[in-house]
Amino acid sequence: VSRDAALGVFDSGLGGLTVVRALREACPAEHIVYLGDNARVPYGTRSPATIVRYAQGCARALADRGVKAIVVACNTVSSVALEMLRAELDLPVSGVIAPGARAAAAVAGEAPVGVLGTAGTIASGAYRRALAALSSRTEIIGQAAPLLVSLAEEGWLDGDVPRLVVRRYLEPFFDASGAPRVGCVVLGCTHFPLFRELIAAELAARAGRPIPVVDSAVETARDIRAFLADRAMARDGATGRLDVLVTDMPRSFADVAGRFLGTPIEHVESIDL
């Protein structure tokens, strides 16, 4: 595969665009093909067998477009389908969980790691397993935060409602005396970088000092850059192209996508899987 080939990135919908945003900052020369399987969003409430089947469809569609590597920009898929995708495809496949877990283990020190995710990601124990693979001592406190997904898609990013929701979801990260129980908090869902500052501010306000917030999207992009450099697969040259594919409703996808990507999307192509 040529180093000029694109990176393929997929997610069940919009959220993975925060990973694309981080990738464009970390590796601006890379071409990117993004596939949002919004006809079947959300994956988080599906059974593992269904998620694996959907992920297969997405990954094949990207492989058919000649990408040089695939980034699974979805915590749910990363937690159940990476092995299968790696076994099936003759391409490097990266998820978003291991990079976030690695960064969290590095900053948390002796303290437990707090993880915010969808109900599915938390219940899957994926972060627990990823951290256990890195350290036998690191504990985890997981908190499902599904309303943050809805708030992100609705565009309610600040004001009383998101602040109260965030505050409530952060409660398990503090003990009865109000002291923090965690050494850092991982944003374990691709929607949550939209609330990174609010989460950091609420953590600091309650703890009386900053608590690091680990953004899986940023950590994943950093890992991809290092991986491409190591294997001499990085593209040189001018800013890369971004192609966006969706499986349903390209118009309304484009309307909301800009919030996740940080810049407006002009063209969205509709495909069938």
- Site residues (CB under 8 A) for a second copy? 38-41, 45-47, 50, 146-147, 149-151, 153-154, 156, 160-161, 164-165, 168, 248-249, 252
Beta partners for 269? 245
Which residue shows structure tokens 């297969």? 56
161 versus 205: smaller Cβ distance to a second copy:
161
Q: How far is the CB of 220 from a second copy (least distance, A)?
A: 26
Distance CA 119, CA 163 (A): 20
Report the interhelical angle of 196-207 vs 160-170 (nearest 10°): 60
**Alpha-carbon torsion, ordered 257, 22, 273, 256, to 10 deg:** -10
Q: CB of residue 39 vs a second copy: minimum separation in angstroms?
A: 6
Q: What's the min distance (Å) between Cβ of 125 and a second copy? A: 15
Answer yes or no: are the C-beta atoms of 14 and 257 closer than 8 Å: yes
Distance separating alpha carbons of residues 228 and 222, to the nearest angstrom: 10
Which is catalytic among the residues 27, 58, 184, 189?
Answer: 189
The residue (of 133 and 161) whose beta carbon lies closer to a second copy is 161
Least separation in angstroms between residue 191's CB and a second copy is 12
CB nearer to a second copy: pick between 240 and 270: 270
- Compute the distance between CA of residue 134 and CA of residue 91 in angstroms, rounded to an integer: 24
Write down the least CB distance from residue 49 to a second copy, Å.
9
Rounded to 5 degrees, φ, ψ at 243 are -105, 135
Please indicate whether residue 189 is annotated as part of the active site: yes
Catalytic residue among 27, 58, 74, 184: 74
Q: Which is nearer to a second copy, 46 or 225 (CB)?
A: 46
- Catalytic residue status for 184: no
Report the C-alpha gap between 129 and 143 in whole angstroms: 16
DSSP state of 25: H
The H-assigned helical ranges of 133-208 are 146-154, 160-170, 196-207
Residue number, 132 or 256, with CB nearest to a second copy: 256
Cα angle, residue 212 at apex, residues 208 and 21 outer, rounded to 5°? 135
Catalytic residues: 74, 189
